[in-house]
Amino acid sequence: MDCLFCKIVNGEIPSKIVYEDDLVYSFYDIEPQAPFHILIIPKKHITSALEINDGNKDIVGHIFKVAADIACEHNIAQDGYRLVTNVGKNGGQTVGHMHFHMLGGRNLQWPPG
C-alpha cells in the first residue's frame, strides 16, 4: 500500500511524535495552521469517515479520548481547540487515510474556509 500515513506509522517516514498506543498515532503537522497543530490517525488504514463501520467504530471513540488527553497535556483544553476530519476531495481531504487535525493555541474563526 502506498499510503503516506501508513508509512509514517510503520516508521518508513520520520515524524515528530506526540502520542502513540496500539490503535492511534499522533504527530505534528508539517505545515501548521495554528500554534498547536497535530494529526491524530488510526494505525489501521481507514480511508475516510465513510469507511467507519461496526468493526472499526471504537477506534474513532478512542481518538476523541486521546485528543482530550493531548489537549490537557499541552494546555489547550481550557481555552479550547478544534478537532476536524476532512472527507473526500471537496471536503479537503488530501491524504487517503482518515485523520483528525487538532488545532489550538489561538482564537479559531468560523467558518474555517
Cell of 112: 474555517
pTM of full prediction above 0.85: yes
Q: What's the mean pLDDT when you consider all of the chain? A: 95
99 is catalytic: yes
Average pLDDT score over residue span 85-108: 96
* Catalytic annotation, pick one of 45, 62, 97, 99: 99
DSSP one-letter code for 65: H
4-104: CATH, from 3.40.50.10470, 4.10.520.10, 3.30.428.10, 3.40.50.620 = 3.30.428.10
Provide the pLDDT confidence category of residue 113 given band limits of 50, 70 and 90. Answer: low
- In three-state secondary structure terms, 87 is coil
Predicted confidence at residue 112, as pLDDT, reads 75
Query: What pLDDT is attached to residue 29?
Result: 97
Buried b or exposed e, range 21-58, using 16+ CB within 10 angstroms: eeebbbbebeeeebebbbbbbbbeebebeeeeeeeeee
In this prediction, residues 75-102 reach a mean pLDDT of 96
